[in-house]
Amino acid sequence: MTVLLSSRRRLTVSAALIAALAGALAPATTASAALPAAPSPAPAPDMAGVVAALESAMASGAPGAMARYSGPEGAKERAVGVRDRVSGAAMDTKARFRIGSVSKTFSSVVLLQLVEEGRLQLDASVNTYLEGLLPDDRVTVRHLLTHRSGLADYTNAMFNQTVPGFEAVRNRVFSYQELVDLSLAEPRTTEPGVAYKYSNANFVVVGMLIEKLTQRPVADAYQRRIIKPLGLRKTTYAHPDTRIKGTHVRGYLHPDEAGAPLVDSTEQTVSWAQSAGAVISSPADLNTFTSALMRGRLLSSAMLEAMTTVTPTDTTNTRFYGLGLRRYDLTCGTQVYGHTGTVQGFYTYAFSTRDGRRSLSALANTSNRGAANTALGGTLEAAFCGKQPTPAPTGRSTAPSAFPDRAPLPAERDLPERY
């Protein structure tokens, strides 16, 4: 629409414009007149540091490891070790692998889309939609997504003995109800909404909600709502098929007994997890997923704001959880959002900056080896914080200069582990 101004009004506007231009051309005489400083550019990824973290994961027991960084400068991929101990095939950044609990973010996105569509409400009781499922009407949908329901994690008992527990369920097919019953057979960990307590049972119930509301398998929801729109060609929900189709990484599980040989855990139903951890993907697809999520391609800005509203998960005040989403505050001040993943034989990290411009995915093909998981997490610092300056020698410290100011925190556990 064009707005016509009177002659007197045009003169007033012109005078004001001239005055403004004159002021802009005048030299600044006070600090308040200075232009605001441009934001500092993001540091370039330290790919040598990424490789060091991957090699550290190998030194801690992983046969191989890999990472893929994507940013304005393009994609950078690194791999060390082997993806198959028998054939000796080198780790391959194009290969597919089990992403474990990164699947929880997929499930959360689908459920939040259903919230946007008016199919359910975040603060409604779960029993509103799954009548009589839980013995407490106070447990809400939001409590599930934030791990504040108090539902016990049945995997603690299931995998109390790592290898025997895994072999007992490797080829088993559970119903969602059976997994919920395993959780309800144990005492609740907290009153609803009171405290964060990570539990795979929460996202089993999320899967039940998705299937109840869509009247379709959860695999269909992933495919139609995330995988196809984003063109994730190497991402699938594989249940109860035990195979990883195409070129893939083999996973190796550490037994609890020191010195015992690794167990090839690649083939399994992952039925003990389902919507909590049965997705298969690749580094490039994970970069695309986390970046697209943060850019608002999957959720509205209001829903993404709700998803990224977080509360602490420990006392370090550097780790947080939102709605099916972790936030890590790195030593350089950068905040990254995504999820960690553990499934027998695989550790995964998949994170992106809040603007979605930079993302990192990393894998080590082992589990039940916390030191390897912690080491793999070092890829986040190297990728998002860049090369750290070498501190000046003080004569009082014998720590290697390449170490960050703060020692790496132990990795958060998505499954019970002995090491």
Peptide bond into 240 cis (omega under 30): yes
How buried is 27 (Cβ within 10 angstroms: 0-12 exposed, 13-18 middle, 19+ buried)? exposed
The one-letter amino acid at 82 = V
Cα 272 to Cα 76, 150, 156, 263, 400, distances in angstroms: 34, 19, 12, 18, 42
Tokens of 322: 């939102």
Integer angstrom CA distances of residue 331 from 255, 294, 385, 400: 33, 21, 8, 17
The packing angle between helices 283-294 and 103-116, to 10°, is 30
Distance (Å) of CA 84 to CA 89, 267, 270, 271, 366: 5, 13, 20, 24, 12
Catalytic site positions: 101
Cα separation of 234 and 300, whole Å? 26
Residues 6+ apart with CB under 8 A from 63: 81, 82, 83, 85, 252, 262, 365, 366
Beta carbons of 226 and 110 less than 8 angstroms apart: yes
Q: Which residues pair with 338 in a beta bridge?
A: 326, 351
